[in-house]
Amino acid sequence: AQSVTQLDSHVSVSEGTPVLLRCNYSSSYSPSLFWYVQHPNKGLQLLLKYTSAATLVKGINGFEAEFKKSETSFHLTKPSAHMSDAAEYFCVVSDLGSGYSTLTFGKGTMLLVSP
């Protein structure tokens, strides 16, 4: 069975400071990992994905994440936060071990950005 743990329910940063959203995963198979973002009253937008290629993955809007197998982590970072980054972020694991691709979501981290 696969699972995801997002270590912080809320993260507060000031505009222009770095962002770190932490995620640990568990998977019986070689996982694919994703970060999705959800703005208020909106659907989910894919930020970036890891699918067993380069361990440092670059996504949209300046976000990136590093896959660390030894630590079973996939933390999301951004060098400089912008007000528009305020949203909820979900770390997601997917595998095809069950014969079909299903996504397992973490509980989410709310990113708050202050001026």
Partner 1 sequence: ETGVTQSPTHLIKTRGQQVTLRCSSQSGHNTVSWYQQALGQGPQFIFQYYREEENGRGNFPPRFSGLQFPNYSSELNVNALELDDSALYLCASSMRDGYEQYFGPGTRLTVT
Q: Which residues bind partner 1 (CB under 8 A)?
A: 32, 34, 36, 42-46, 49, 51, 90, 94, 96, 98-108
| CA dist list (Å): 99 to 26, 34, 66, 92, 96 | 18, 19, 27, 18, 5
| CA dist list (Å): 90 to 98, 99, 115 | 22, 24, 24
The distance of closest approach from Cβ of residue 29 to partner 1 in the complex, given in angstroms and rounded to an integer, is 12
The distance of closest approach from Cβ of residue 61 to partner 1 in the complex, given in angstroms and rounded to an integer, is 17
Closer residue to partner 1 in complex, CB, 20/96: 96
The distance of closest approach from Cβ of residue 32 to partner 1 in the complex, given in angstroms and rounded to an integer, is 4
